[in-house]
Structures are given as C-alpha cells and as structure tokens.
C-alpha cells in the first residue's frame, strides 16, 4: 500500500510502526480531521476555506422561570419547549430526579413544562 499518490515511504514506514488502534486514529486525522485534502493527481489541494463574519452575532437570550406549584411539582416556564427541556435535562444531570412531564401552552405564548419532583441524588456528571 506504499502508494506515492497518498503518502511517501517514510510516512508509510511510520504508519506501519503504529499499533492497530493508533493506526485508526492516524487515518481518521489524515482523512477526516485536520488534514482533509482532496487528491488531484499528485497535487494536494485544500478542500475548504474558513470564512468569518465581520460583525459578531449577538446571542439570543431567552428567559426560563423555574418555580414550584402548590402540589410541589417543579414548573419550567418560557417561550421555547426545546429550551425548557434543555434546562430540565441540565437539572437532571445535576442530580434531580424528575418524572411525569406535562406540557401546557398559555394564552400569552408562554410554554410550561411541569415535572413531579421525586428527589435528589449526587450529580450524574461531576463536570
């Protein structure tokens, strides 16, 4: 497989000294990672160019209100269901045990996501 079109003899020699797992990582970096190139004959051309916007994009801020209702359920309120589920998932990762989700839509375009709070454990992910 020492083909001059893809790599030279010294690079192929280095590749042969690697363990199988390291060979996979090396090929990943070569073909998909930082060294993505398009082979045209014997010339190597970069496939992509990175362009940056000149004006920074302002982040979108959306408020989420977390409260407890009279039944002791935890209620997430905001304007976006996916954002509410993300906040709930973050709380679960921090150790809250939630069950029985209920989704409701208010007249003022507010979305409410209600969970029954079962308890609290140590965080699932210490990071």
Per-residue HEC secondary structure of the chain comes to CCCCCCCCHHHHHHHHHCCHHHHHHHHHHHHCCCCCEEEECCEEEECCCCCCCCCCCCCCCCCCEEEECCCCCEEEEECCHHHHHHHHHHHHHCCEEEEEEEEEECCCCCEEEEEEEEEECCCCCCC
In tens, the pLDDT along 24-73 reads 777 777 666 544 444 444 455 555 566 666 776 677 788 888 889 888 89
Lookup: tokens for 97: 């045990």
Give the list of residues 6+ apart from residue 123 with CB closer than 8 angstroms, or none.
Answer: 93, 94, 95
Closest by alpha carbon to 117, among 83, 66, 82, 78? 66
Q: Is 11 in contact with 29 (CB distance < 8 Å)?
A: no
How far out from the chain centre does Cα 71 lie? Answer: 35
Question: Model's pTM, two decimal places?
Answer: 0.51
Which pLDDT does position 31 carry in this prediction? 64
- In the chain, where the domains are located: 9-46, 65-120
In tens, the pLDDT along 73-118 reads 999 999 889 989 998 888 888 888 888 989 999 888 889 999 998 8
What phi and psi, each to the nearest 5 degrees, are found at residue 123? -60, 140
Fold of 65-120: Endonuclease I-creI (3.10.28)
């Amino acid at each position: 497989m020492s083909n001059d079109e893809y790599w030279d003899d010294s690079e192929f020699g280095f590749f042969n000294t690697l363990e199988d797992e390291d060979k996979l990582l090396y090929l990943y970096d070569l073909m998909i990672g930082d060294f993505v190139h398009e082979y045209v004959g014997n010339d190597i051309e970069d496939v992509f160019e990175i362009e940056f916007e000149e004006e920074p994009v302002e982040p979108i801020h959306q408020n989420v209100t977390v409260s407890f209702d009279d039944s002791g359920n935890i209620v997430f309120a905001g304007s976006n269901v996916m954002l509410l589920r993300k906040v709930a998932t973050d709380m679960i990762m921090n150790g809250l045990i939630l069950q029985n989700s209920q989704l409701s839509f208010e007249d003022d375009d507010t979305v409410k996501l209600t969970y029954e709070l079962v308890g609290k454990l140590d965080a699932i992910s210490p990071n």
